[in-house]
């Protein structure tokens, strides 16, 4: 999808009132507007005529914060009136009327796609003190247009009705409602997917992942393969990289295969999840009229009016649709099996016991008059804690970066979670209450990859045992304290392994200290509020007298 050249239009001029108001604005030399007209690539029939609507877009970029562009206006128009739409969008961008969150703004520079558009805008803005030139890069407009065009396609081509029997859909919705009531998102939000082996309905295995959708609505994604799961993870990683690059792909230093994948999912976001069936729990008032009617007519079970299950079969190569009958039956079987698995194993899952080895079970799911055995497993894709370390105690020296004479030696069980190490470091150095995070030794040369991020996230979660970070003498890791402010860096080094715990000793413990903690924080940083010391007058009273 590329910006369309604009042909002059007899109506592509400003009226005297608009031009006068624009001339009254003070030009901001630090601001550049980038604008363009892009085809949606989607056929629309109107009054017997078939055409592809265009998107008219304007973005503002400030020279001080160029990586934080601001969308000023978006419009959809008949391509026959593209120049009028672009000009109207520019007026809206300078003198916002429809968006109360935007203030009037006259840029010092306007960039557009081609010479024809430059000539058009120079004529329309004659007498306005702003430079109008051809843009060197239209990447921002391209990225935004691709995403908006995909949203427009979804709105104009809604998912069709269910083809599966009503009773099959009801059973599926009931299983989803039961899952929602168990609220597994807190425990499984950052965990590996649950592997569910079915061997029924033409589907061998599903990989269940807990997730969140728009407005933080809870959801479940059932991937048809681990490849699809990791493809979706890589898409999230690449979109984050694109955001860090100011939304412009030209700024990304990535393999061509990653750039191709990113370009595809920008243009077709619905392809980003790959091959999977999704269920998101939407509030009834947020559903479309068609969706509400479908839920009512099919009498679908729901956990509450705030959790109506909406099912979609997504694909990397096709438009979204409803799950077919076999997919619906398989997903219902998987959800029912997961519900039983979670009830039995949720305490081990809460403790992230999968860091120590797979959590596996086989459950029996009733299906009509028979019971179907379903095997479930949650396994870390990162190395699990070796058996040899499960009873071991680590002697770790924690040193302040840049202060080699300031260190603390700590004994901690290899199986204890990182949040325990975080706590003891706070106490050992006397730090105030601040957030900290651990980082493994960087084994990757060059740019961060999806694979390196995945491994890092798994071995540095709060519940991950410290023995995943350090396993043999001279291993080291990093700890960053007060991440969002002072970023005090520590280096952790494993000095030795103790074969077993000492009887009666509570771990972790500080066994040796050297050097005073530097005065990085003021006394106010250590202050805490004791609610028992507050008088009633310290609280606002909103009640009427």
What pLDDT, in 10s, does the model give residues 119-150? 999 999 989 999 999 998 887 787 777 777 76
**pLDDT mean across residues, the chain:** 86
Task: Check pLDDT > 60 for residue 38.
Answer: yes
Q: Cα separation of 181 and 174, whole Å?
A: 11
Q: Cα separation of 229 and 221, whole Å?
A: 9
Q: Cα separation of 414 and 395, whole Å?
A: 10
Q: Beta-strand (E) ranges in 285-358? A: 308-314
Query: Domain coordinates of the chain in residue numbers?
Result: 16-156, 166-225+275-378, 387-526
Most confident by average pLDDT, 178-182, 433-437, 444-448, 496-500 = 178-182
Q: Cα separation of 327 and 239, whole Å?
A: 29
Q: Cα separation of 455 and 327, whole Å?
A: 31
Q: Cα separation of 427 and 508, whole Å?
A: 11
Task: For residue 515, name the pLDDT band (cuts at 50, 70, 90).
Answer: very high
Task: Identify the pLDDT of residue 541.
Answer: 41
- Single out the residue of 278, 242, 284, 279 nearest to residue 259, CA to CA: 242
Task: Check pLDDT > 60 for residue 540.
Answer: no
Q: Which residues contact 537 (CB under 8 A, 6 or more apart)?
A: none
Task: Identify the pLDDT of residue 128.
Answer: 92
The partner residues of 39 in beta bridges, in order of sequence, read 54
Contact criterion met (CB below 8 Å) for 385 and 497: no
Task: For residue 441, name the pLDDT band (cuts at 50, 70, 90).
Answer: low
SS3 of residue 50 by DSSP: strand
Q: 153-185 burial, b if ≥16 CB within 10 A, otherwise e?
A: beeeeebeebebeeebbebbbbbbbbbbeeebb
Task: Identify the pLDDT of residue 224.
Answer: 97
Q: What is the mean pLDDT of residues 304-319?
A: 92
Q: Cα separation of 279 and 308, whole Å?
A: 9
- Residue-by-residue DSSP string for 33-45: EEEEEEE----EE
Task: Check pLDDT > 80 for residue 534.
Answer: no
Q: Cα separation of 24 and 365, whole Å?
A: 72
Q: Give the DSSP letter of residue 507.
A: S
Distances (CA, A) of 462 to 64, 265, 311, 355, 494: 37, 32, 33, 12, 19
Q: What is the mean pLDDT of residues 252-271?
A: 85
Task: Identify the pLDDT of residue 250.
Answer: 75
Q: Cα separation of 221 and 86, whole Å?
A: 40
Task: Check pLDDT > 50 for residue 542.
Answer: no
Task: Check pLDDT > 50 for residue 201.
Answer: yes
SS3 of residue 284 by DSSP: helix
Say which residue, 40 or 175, is predicted with more confidence. Answer: 175
What pLDDT, in 10s, does the model give residues 445-504? 456 788 888 888 888 888 899 999 999 999 989 999 988 888 899 999 999 998 778 899
Task: Check pLDDT > 90 for residue 410.
Answer: yes
Task: Identify the pLDDT of residue 6.
Answer: 42
Contact criterion met (CB below 8 Å) for 335 and 342: no
Task: For residue 153, name the pLDDT band (cuts at 50, 70, 90).
Answer: low
Task: Check pLDDT > 70 for residue 539.
Answer: no
Q: What is the mean pLDDT of residues 500-522?
A: 91
Q: Which residues contact 266 (CB under 8 A, 6 or more apart)?
A: 143, 146, 147, 242
CATH topology of domain 387-526: 3.10.290
Q: What is the mean pLDDT of residues 375-391?
A: 89
What are the backbone dihedrals phi and psi of residue 240, each rounded to the nearest 5 degrees, phi first? -65, -40
SS3 of residue 312 by DSSP: strand
Q: Which CATH architecture best describes the domain 16-156?
A: 2-Layer Sandwich (3.30)
Task: Identify the pLDDT of residue 446.
Answer: 54
Q: Cα separation of 429 and 479, whole Å?
A: 13
- Residue 504: which region, alpha, beta or left (left: phi > 0; alpha: psi -120 to 50)? left
Q: What is the mean pLDDT of residues 53-67?
A: 86
What are the backbone dihedrals phi and psi of residue 465, each rounded to the nearest 5 degrees, phi first? -65, 145
Contact criterion met (CB below 8 Å) for 60 and 107: yes
Query: Helix H segments across 197-324?
Result: 226-244, 256-267, 289-298
Q: Cα separation of 241 and 448, whole Å?
A: 10
SS3 of residue 286 by DSSP: helix
Q: Cα separation of 313 and 352, whole Å?
A: 30
Q: What is the mean pLDDT of residues 174-199?
A: 92
Task: For residue 280, name the pLDDT band (cuts at 50, 70, 90).
Answer: very high
What pLDDT, in 10s, does the model give residues 203-255? 999 999 999 987 789 999 999 999 999 999 999 999 888 888 777 777 788 88
Task: Check pLDDT > 70 for residue 5.
Answer: no
Distances (CA, A) of 536 to 426, 529, 531, 541: 33, 15, 10, 9
* Cβ neighbour number for residue 439 with a 10 Å cutoff: 15
What are the backbone dihedrals phi and psi of residue 97, each rounded to the nearest 5 degrees, phi first? -115, -35
Task: Check pLDDT > 50 for residue 291.
Answer: yes
């Amino acid at each position: 999808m590329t910006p369309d050249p604009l042909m002059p239009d007899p109506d592509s001029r400003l009226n005297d009132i608009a031009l006068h108001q624009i001339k009254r604005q003070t030009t901001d030399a630090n601001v550049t507007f980038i604008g363009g007209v892009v085809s949606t690539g989607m056929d629309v029939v109107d009054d017997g005529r078939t055409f592809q609507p265009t998107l008219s877009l304007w973005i503002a970029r400030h020279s001080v914060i160029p990586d934080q562009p601001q969308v000023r206006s978006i419009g959809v128009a008949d391509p026959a009136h593209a120049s009028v739409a672009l000009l109207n969008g520019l007026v809206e961008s300078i003198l916002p009327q429809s968006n109360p969150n935007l203030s009037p703004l006259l840029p010092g520079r306007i960039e557009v796609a081609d010479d024809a558009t430059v000539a058009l805008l120079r004529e329309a803005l004659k007498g306005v003190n702003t430079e109008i030139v051809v843009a060197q890069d239209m990447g921002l407009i391209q990225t935004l247009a691709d995403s908006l065009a995909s949203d427009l396609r979804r709105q104009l081509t809604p998912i069709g009705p269910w083809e599966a029997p009503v009773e099959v859909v009801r059973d599926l919705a009931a299983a989803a409602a039961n899952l929602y009531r168990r609220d597994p998102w807190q425990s499984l939000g950052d965990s590996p997917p649950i592997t569910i082996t079915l061997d029924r309905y033409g589907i061998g295995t599903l990989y269940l992942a807990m997730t969140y959708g728009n407005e933080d609505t809870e959801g479940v994604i059932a991937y048809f393969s681990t490849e699809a799961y990791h493809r979706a993870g890589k898409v999230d990683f690449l979109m984050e990289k694109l955001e860090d690059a100011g939304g412009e792909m030209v700024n990304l230093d990535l393999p061509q295969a990653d750039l191709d994948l990113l370009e595809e999912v920008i243009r077709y976001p619905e392809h980003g999840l790959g091959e999977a069936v999704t269920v998101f729990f939407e509030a009834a008032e947020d559903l479309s009229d068609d969706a509400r009617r479908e839920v009512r007519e099919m009498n679908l079970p729901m956990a509450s009016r705030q959790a109506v299950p909406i099912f979609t079969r997504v694909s990397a190569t096709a438009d979204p649709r409803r799950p077919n009958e076999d997919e619906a039956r398989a997903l219902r079987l998987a959800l029912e099996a997961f519900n039983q698995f979670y009830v039995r194993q949720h305490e081990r899952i809460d403790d992230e016991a999968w860091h120590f080895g797979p959590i596996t079970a086989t459950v029996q799911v009733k299906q009509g008059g028979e019971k179907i055995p379903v095997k479930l497993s949650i396994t870390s894709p990162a190395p699990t804690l070796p058996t040899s370390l499960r009873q071991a105690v680590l002697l770790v020296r924690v040193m302040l970066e840049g202060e080699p004479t300031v260190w603390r030696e700590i004994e901690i069980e290899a199986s204890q979670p990182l949040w325990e190490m975080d706590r003891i470091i706070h106490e050992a150095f006397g730090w105030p209450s601040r957030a900290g995070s651990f980082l493994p030794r960087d084994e990757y040369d060059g740019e961060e990859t999806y694979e390196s991020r995945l491994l890092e996230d798994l071995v540095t979660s709060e519940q991950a045992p410290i023995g995943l970070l350090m396993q043999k003498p001279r291993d080291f890791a990093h700890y960053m304290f007060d991440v969002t402010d002072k970023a005090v860096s520590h280096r952790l080094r494993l000095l030795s392994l103790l074969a077993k715990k000492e009887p009666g000793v509570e771990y972790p413990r500080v066994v040796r200290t050297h050097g005073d903690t530097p005065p990085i924080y003021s006394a106010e940083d250590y202050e805490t509020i004791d609610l028992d010391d507050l008088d009633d007058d310290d609280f606002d009273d909103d009640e009427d007298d």
